[in-house]
Structure 1
Amino acid sequence: MTMAQETPPTEPKVIAEAQAQAPPAALNFDMETIDGQLVNLAEKYQGKVVLLVNVASRCGLTPQYEQLEALYSKHADQGLAIVGVPCNQFLSQEPGTAAEIQEFCKRKYGVSFDLMAKVNVKSNKPGQCPLYEFLTSEDTNPGFAGNISWNFEKFVISRSGEVVGRFGPRTKPDAVEVVSAIETELAK
Structure 2
Amino acid sequence: MSILDAPIARLDGTPATLREITGGRPALVVNVASKCGLTPQYAGLEQLHEKYAEAGFTVVGVPCNQFLGQEPGSSEEIAEFCSATYGVTFPMTEKVEVNGEGRHELYRGLVDVPNEKGETGDVQWNFEKFLLASDGTVVARFSPGVEPTDPTLVDAVRSLTTP
What TM-score does the superposition give when structure 2 sets the normalisation length?
Answer: 0.92
2:136 is aligned to: 161
Q: Which of 40-49 and 177-186 deviates more?
A: 40-49
Write the distance in 2 (CA, Å) between the matches of 1:45 and 1:187. 17
Matches within 5 A, 1:1-188: 25-122=2-99, 125-137=100-112, 141=113, 145-188=120-163
Whichever residue aligns with residue 147 of structure 1, its letter is D
Larger-gyration structure (1/2): 1
**RMSD of aligned residue pairs (Cα, Å):** 1.4
Per the TM alignment, residue 48 of structure 1 is displaced from its structure 2 partner at its CA by 0.8
- Pairs aligned (count): 159
Q: Secondary structure at the match of 2:110?
A: helix
Q: Which runs of 5+ in 2 are unaligned?
A: none
Amino acid in structure 1 at the alignment position of 2:133? S
CA contact (8 A) 2:148 2:154 kept: yes
Shift of 1:146: 1.5
Return the TM-score normalized by structure 1. 0.80
Percent of pairs with identical residues: 44
User: Any runs of at least 4 consecutive aligned residues in structure 1 with deviations exceeding 2 A, and if so which?
Assistant: 42-47
SS at match of 1:42: helix
Q: Is the 8 A contact 2:60 2:92 kept in 1?
A: yes
